[in-house]
Every structure is written in structure tokens, then in C-alpha cells.
A and B are shown apart, each in its own frame.
Chain A
Amino acid sequence: MESEIAQITQHTGGVIGNAWLMIAFPLLGAFILLVFNRLTDRWGHLLGVAMSLASFVVAVLAFFELIGLGEAERRRAVHLYEFIPNLDINMGLLIDPLSISFALLITGVGSLIHIYSIGYMAHDEHRRRFFAYLNLFVAAMLLLVLADNYVGLFIGWEGVGLASYLLIGFWQFKPSAAVAAKKAFVVNRVGDLGLLVGMFVIFTTYQTLSFAELKPIEVENGTTLAIGLLLLLGACGKSAQLPLQSWLLDAMEGPTPVSALIHAATMVTAGVYLVVRSGAYFFPEGSGAALAVAIVGAATLLAGAIIGCAKDDIKKGLAGSTMSQIGYMMLGAGLGPAGYAFAIGHLITHGFFKADLFLGAGSVMHGMNDEVNMRKYGGLRKYMPLTFWTFFIGYLAIIGFPLLSGYFTKDGIIETAIEHNQVLGWLAVLGAGITGFYMSRMVFMTFFGQKRWAEDAHPHESPTVMTVPLIVLSIGAIFLGGYLVLSNRLLLFLAPAVGRPEELPTFHFVSVPGITTLALVAVGAGYAWVRYAQAEVPVVQPRGSFVTTFARRDLYGDALNESLLMRPGQWLTRIAVFFDNRGVDGLVNGLAAGIGGSSGRLRRIQTGFARTYALSIFIGAALLTGALLLVGTI
């Protein structure tokens, strides 16, 4: 297979040479906002937006500088400084088509969400802190995707985890938010363990953690399979894939822009980035590791979709959908270079339409006193038309309505999957159908049907600062997919970084899977129309069948975690604490008490009678004599 990826070459000067500015701007923003604290309350949000935009500008300039280079030279490493000399790890950036795509997405969508947040968080007294965390997130996410080695990636990886933790728990005074934040971090750490150990194995095997020094492999062996599975575990954590999916739904406790930026558009896709970035080294096409990635993706896309069907909380519904869509990306990432392009394509378009949907949901909540229960919405399209239309575009994009973004990228994944593996491919088709149902359900419950509002609800359209980002995002949701997929623009652009498939795929507007998908989506949407637009939606959640309960309870993921990990863990902790106090420390204290006790008993020998003392002298004399005689005979 000649899917060679391009050599990484050192780069100095130019915008790319100063690409660290991309990270530096938002980092500086976060620093200023956190250190100067309340002094910046009045203009902090503006600084945050400015820094994010500055970063975006640098990304765009770097992008143009990059495409100005020859195709084989589009992987530029920028050395920053020596980090850990012992491991020969340098802090450095890798600007290549893959990372710059992410950088553009992160800074672009990120900036929009920054702008949106000005309005959304206007009434929060800690808005400045919110922007500080957002800036911190952007910086960390950029470090994640721009780092030229796994350690740098890992720092960014944990940095976004931190930002996610802080933002999920932004309203930390709500116990549920605090718990959700912690849960997200801890579950992510399970994944991090995989990434960490994966790095150990990589380093031990290749004596390097730098992308530039790793060599692409053709055939996998036991070691690369192990590395692949470990990295996949890491990816599962960050991207909320089975079995580490449970945190994402709880993460919706965070403010909605956070859900849009971190838990939809960017951070959760880091797992996909990791797999694609490592693809050439550890996930060669057709390998066991790649298959594992695809299986995880397929399983998650179904699981997420099923969960999405049963949620009444609009954000949780979207969260299930996010899981599901990332499942598609993972599926694509398990399919080699052709899949990579569609996966990244879907990732980018998803970044737009899912951010659009989330921000739309936020806009709805904004107008509905932060109500998230869709059963208390209904008929909102007339009251917030801009929100409705942008949301509707996002909806069409996600269900794969022909010619919108999702149509191109998702179909690309499905078709590539069917080429590689029939079973997984058709599961993806099924997933698309379910997507059609639950997304339609969401739209119908929210914007159509009767009003089921709470009494004090006065729905209104959101301010311009919130709607403009929605509009920009929905434009992306319409056109981006076609632009990227048709004539394989993205695939060819990415090729130097991730490799090029043996034969370029051509997009079929009419194909068996495509038609089937559309049909299933139509069926799903139709069923939703009947259930949620035509029929009356009960305000109180009906009991539902066994399947509904199964989906509502997140497929019993939390119950499983609780009974398999949490409860035994609590017991283990209790036993360990008991053992430490009574066992280890008890031994020490017991020894001390033993000496004390024997002292207390022995001192009774000192009876106070002179004759006893004389006896002890006498016996001592006898013993001494006996001992000396005995020693003499030896």
C-alpha cells in the first residue's frame, strides 16, 4: 500500500513558525482574566472574544501559508523549546493539514461560541470567569491538536479535561453540577490511563514519542495492537464512546455554550483526532486495532441514538446525539485513509451543525427561563423564528437531508463502512434512521405542536449577539459538507497527513445505502411527526415500555458503573481505611501498648521489700556462677 504520509520537516519563520501565538493568545486571555480577577469584570468577556478571534486569525493565516506549500511539504514541525531532555521530548508544534483543520474548527466555532456567550452569560455575575475558562479551553485544545508529540498532546488532552471540568462545574453551587464535573474528569482519567500506558509502550518500543520520528507501519504486530487498543481506550474516554460514555450526559449540567463548544464541537472529538493522528502508526487499514475502533464507533452510534430517543431534556437528547455522531466518526476513523477523510469531514460539519443545535437549544432555554424539558416546550417556532430556522437547518444537516452538510459526510462514512465491513455499515444505516426519529422528535416537541409551557414562561427571541453566531453556524451546516466532500477536497488536503486511499472514492448521489438511509430517516421522521407533532405530547413523562426505560436510563450505563465500580470501590476504601487504622497502625500502637503493659507488670517485681531485693541478688549470683561454669565447659 503506497499510502505513505508525508515527511515532517522543520519549519521556522512565517506565520507557521509563530503558530504558538495561536495557543498564546487565549492562554494570555485566561491568565489575565484569572489573575486580575475582578478588575477585569467589566471588559473581560470582550478580551476573551478578542483573544479567541486573534487565535482564529493566526490559524487562518497559517492555513493559507500551509496551502501555499507543496503538497509533500505540508507537514511542518515548529520547535519551541526542550521539554524533557531525558526523554528527548521537545515542546513543538506540528502544523499539517490535519491539525490546521482542527485549529480552524476550534478557533472558528470557538470564536462564534465566545460571541454567543456574551449574550447567553450576560446575567451571570461570574461571566468573566466563564470567559477565562473558555479561553483556557481553546488554548488547551489547540495544544492538543497542534503538539508534535504525544506528551504535548497529552498535556492539551488533560488541559481540555480541566477546562471541561471547570465549565461543567461552572455552576458548582448546584451539587448535580459539581458531581457531574467530577464524574467527567474521573471517567476521562480512566481513558487517560490507556493513553498514558500507550505512551509507555510507544516510548519503550520506539524510544520516541514524537510524531516525526515514528514510522508508519504496514502490518500490525502484537505491540502495535496493544498500543492501538490503549490509545483507543484513551479516545473512548475523551470522546464518550462505549464503555466510557457515561459522563457526557451528565456533562450537560454546564452552561449551554460549553456543551456546544466542548461537549459537541471540539473536545469530544479529540478521541477521533487521536485515532486519526496515530492511524498511520498504529491503526493500519484492516488491522485489528482499526477494527476495534470501528466496532466501538458502531456500537456507540447506536447506543447514543437510542439514548437520544428517550430523553426529554433537550440538552441530554443532543448529548446522546453527539455520542452517536462521534460514533460515526470513530467508525470512519477505523476504516483507513478514506474513512479518515470522511470522519474528519463529519467532525467538521458536526462541529458546525451540532454547535448550531446546541446554541439553538441554548437560545430556546434562554427564552424559556432555562427550562430544558422539551415536554414543557411546544409551538415555539412562532416566538423565536430565527432560533427555529437555524435549529431546523442544523436538524436537517444532522439527519442527512440531501445536499446539506451531514448528508455528504455521514453518507461518506456509511458507504466506506459498507465497503469495508457490511455489518458495521448497515448498523450505521440503522443508526441514521434512528437519528431521523429522535432529532425529529426534538424539533417537533420544541417548535411544533401545542404550547405546554410553564405559567411564567414568556418565550422571546434571543439578542443579536446570540443569533448571529447561529446564523453563521447554520450557513456552515448547509454548505460545508458538500464543499469538503465533493471532488474529495478534504481527502486530498488531508492526504499528506493521514495518507491517501488506493483509489479515490467518488460520491454517489444515488446508491443503495444512500437510498436506504434516506428512506429510514424518512420513516423515523414520519413516525416522530405522528407521535410528537400530530398527537398531544404529555407534559408528564409517561412510564414507557421496558425499552424506553432502558434508553432513559442511559442503557443502564450508570447502574453498571455503580454496581461494578463505585460500590465495590467504596467498600474497598472503607476496608482499606479500617485496615490502615486497625491493622497497620494497630500493630504499631499494639507494640507500644505491649511494651507499656509489660513495663507495668514488670515493675511489680520491685516489691519494695529489701529481702526480695536480696533474693534477686542471690539468684543473680547463682545465675552468674552457673553461667560462668557453663561457659567454662563449652
Chain B
Amino acid sequence: MTTHYLVLSGLLFAIGAMGVLIRRNAIVVFMCVELMLNACNLAFVTFSRQVGNLEGQIIAFFVMVVAAAEVVVGLAIIVTIFRTRRSASVDDANLLKY
């Protein structure tokens, strides 16, 4: 019964990961990471139901808080770099290499 949710969670995770890999805009990349976190949340909740304890659900709450904190930090960084470079493309930030 829970398998569908797990598959969905897996799909979401994969979509998120693919998004990180293929999208250039830093904001979008970041959103994809958030998507991955949410996929995790879905999995936690599903497993919580499957194994029959509440831990998973509690974890989901924690993850949301952490994700929120991450957004704050992430956006700050992205905005700063956008102000400097007038570009939010992750590919443009390419001075550090080799």
C-alpha cells in the first residue's frame, strides 16, 4: 500500500537531483534541492506509517525547519552573488577551478 508513496518519493528525489544537475539558475537549483528534501519528508512519513511509529513524522517536522533555515542562508548567498555578478547562473561562477 505504501509502495506507491515510496515510488512517488523516489521520483521526486530523482527529479530534484536531475534538476540540480541540469538547471543553470541558482534559484532553480536550490529549489530542486528543496524538492529532494521534500521527497525525503514523504518517505519519512510513509515509512512512519509502514513501521508503525511516529518518529518519521516527527523527523518530517524537523526537516521542514532545517529546510527553512537553509532557504534563508541559501537565498542570502545567491542574492549576494547576483548583486555582484548580475547573474544567477551557477555556471557563471567559474573562477575557481583545476
- Interface on A for B, CB 8 Å cutoff? 603-604, 606-611, 614-615, 618
Interface string of B1-36 (1 = CB under 8 A from A): 000000000000000010011101000010000000
User: How big is chain B's contact interface, by range?
Assistant: 10 to 19
Chain B contacts for A607, CB-based, 8 A: 94, 97
Within the complex, which residue of B17, B22, B90, B98 is in contact with A610, where a contact is CB–CB below 8 Å? B90
Tell me whether A618 and B95 are in contact in the complex, defined as CB-CB below 8 angstroms, given that A609-B90, A610-B90, A611-B90 are known contacts: no
Tell me the minimal C-beta distance from A616 to chain B in angstroms: 10
Cβ-defined contact, A606 with B98, below 8 A: yes
Cβ-defined contact, A611 with B96, below 8 A: no
Tell me the minimal C-beta distance from B25 to chain A in angstroms: 11
Chain B contacts for A609, CB-based, 8 A: 90-91, 94, 97
Within the complex, which residue of A603, A614, A618 is in contact with B98, where a contact is CB–CB below 8 Å? A603
Given A607-B94, A608-B98, list of 19 further CB < 8 A pairs? A603-B98, A606-B98, A607-B97, A608-B95, A608-B96, A609-B90, A609-B94, A610-B29, A610-B90, A610-B91, A611-B20, A611-B21, A611-B29, A611-B90, A611-B91, A614-B21, A615-B21, A618-B17, A618-B21
Tell me the minimal C-beta distance from B41 to chain A in angstroms: 19
Cβ-defined contact, B98 with A604, below 8 A: yes
Q: Does B93 contact A (CB under 8 A)?
A: yes
Chain B contacts for A610, CB-based, 8 A: 29, 90-91, 93
Closest A residue by C-beta to B91: A609
A sample of 21 inter-chain contacts (CB < 8 A) reads: A603-B98, A606-B97, A606-B98, A607-B94, A607-B97, A608-B94, A608-B95, A608-B97, A609-B90, A609-B94, A609-B97, A610-B29, A610-B91, A611-B21, A611-B24, A611-B29, A611-B90, A611-B91, A614-B21, A615-B21, A618-B17
Q: Is the interface of B mostly helix, strand, loop or mixed?
A: loop
Q: How far is the CA of A380 from the CA of B98 in the complex (A)?
A: 92
Tell me the minimal C-beta distance from A603 to chain B in angstroms: 5
CB-based closest 4 A-B pairs: A608-B97, A608-B94, A610-B90, A603-B98
Chain B contacts for A603, CB-based, 8 A: 98
Q: How far is the CA of A606 from the CA of B94 in the complex (A)?
A: 11
Q: How far is the CA of A608 from the CA of B92 in the complex (A)?
A: 10
Chain A contacts for B22, CB-based, 8 A: 611
Q: Which of A604, A609, A615, A618 has the most chain B CB atoms closer than 10 A to its own CB? A: A609
Q: How far is the CA of A618 from the CA of B32 in the complex (A)?
A: 14
Cβ-defined contact, B20 with A614, below 8 A: yes
Closest A residue by C-beta to B26: A610
Q: How far is the CA of A608 from the CA of B93 in the complex (A)?
A: 8
Tell me the minimal C-beta distance from A619 to chain B in angstroms: 10
Chain A contacts for B24, CB-based, 8 A: 611
